[in-house]
């Protein structure tokens, strides 16, 4: 009974090869795309392997933007990067943006927000971020764009791509509601940055 499940994944991975070969963004690239757009025209600095950060101003707050370094197909090391930035900058808010698995029947590209570290993988990055956030009593907000496992590794669809502005509005709202002017905020775009530059 597990065969259809494996076949679906194998099929998706097979199709993903063409997408990766042409350097086209995949569904999982939505996090780096949203944060990458905020990073445009700001100086980028390396902070961990394949990971960059930039400083920007959002509603009078100092925003530290973190994401994997595009346009190569990499997820970077958000765990190490965020851990270092939390210890160095002592921010008052952490916002994480990622693709998240939708439930059967849920719409692709739907945006949801909540509390906690939005990051997948084997758990190393999640552990590092949660540990650093807990130690410095830092609230963590998550904004996720829903998609299926197959969509996350396949060519980005229109529904997912068009969530960028919605997420930017949510980021602005959270920042205005939860922080004061001159506060420091870390915003992390989690995911594979294939086909996206900052």
Partner 1 sequence: MSLPIMGAPDKKAKKLTVYTIEECVKCKKPDKREFKDGDLVHKILGKCKDCNENIMISLIYGEEPKKN
**Cβ atoms 67, 75 nearer than 8 A:** no
Positive or negative torsion for Cα 166, 188, 34, 194: negative
Q: State which residue, 4 or 181, has the beta carbon closest to partner 1.
A: 4
Nearer to partner 1, 29 or 142 (CB): 29
Q: Nearest distance from residue 127's CB to partner 1, in Å?
A: 24
- How many alpha carbons lie under 13 Å from residue 188 in its C-beta half-sphere? 34
Question: Cβ 77 to partner 1, closest distance in Å?
Answer: 21
The minimum distance between CB 191 and partner 1, in angstroms, equals: 13
Angstrom CA distances, 98 to 3, 7, 135, 141, 164, stand at: 28, 25, 23, 11, 12
**Taking Cα atoms as reference points, which of 86, 65, 106 lies closest to residue 190?**
65
Which CB sits closer to partner 1, 92 or 147? 147
Nearer to partner 1, 48 or 156 (CB): 156
Binding residues vs partner 1 (CB under 8 A):
1-2, 4-5, 7-8, 11, 22-25, 29, 33, 36-37, 40, 70-71, 103-104, 148-150, 154-158, 160-162, 164, 195-198
Least distance in angstroms from the C-beta of 165 to partner 1:
10
């Amino acid at each position: 009974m597990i065969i259809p499940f494996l076949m679906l994944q194998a099929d998706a991975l097979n199709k993903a090869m063409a997408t990766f070969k042409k350097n086209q963004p995949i569904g999982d690239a939505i996090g780096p795309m949203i944060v990458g757009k905020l990073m445009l025209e700001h100086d980028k600095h390396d902070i961990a392997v394949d990971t960059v950060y930039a400083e920007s101003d959002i509603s009078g707050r100092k925003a530290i933007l973190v994401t994997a370094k595009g346009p190569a197909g990499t997820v970077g090391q958000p765990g190490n990067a965020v851990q270092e930035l939390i210890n160095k900058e002592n921010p008052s808010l952490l916002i994480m943006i990622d693709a998240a698995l939708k439930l059967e029947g849920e719409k692709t590209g739907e945006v949801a927000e909540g509390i906690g570290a939005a990051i997948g993988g084997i758990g190393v990055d999640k552990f590092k971020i949660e540990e650093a956030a807990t130690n410095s009593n830092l609230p963590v907000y998550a904004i996720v764009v829903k998609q299926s496992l197959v969509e996350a590794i396949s060519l980005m669809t229109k529904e997912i791509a068009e969530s960028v502005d919605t997420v930017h509005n949510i980021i602005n709202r959270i920042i205005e509601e939860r922080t004061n002017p001159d506060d420091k905020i870390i915003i992390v775009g989690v995911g594979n940055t294939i086909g996206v530059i900052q």
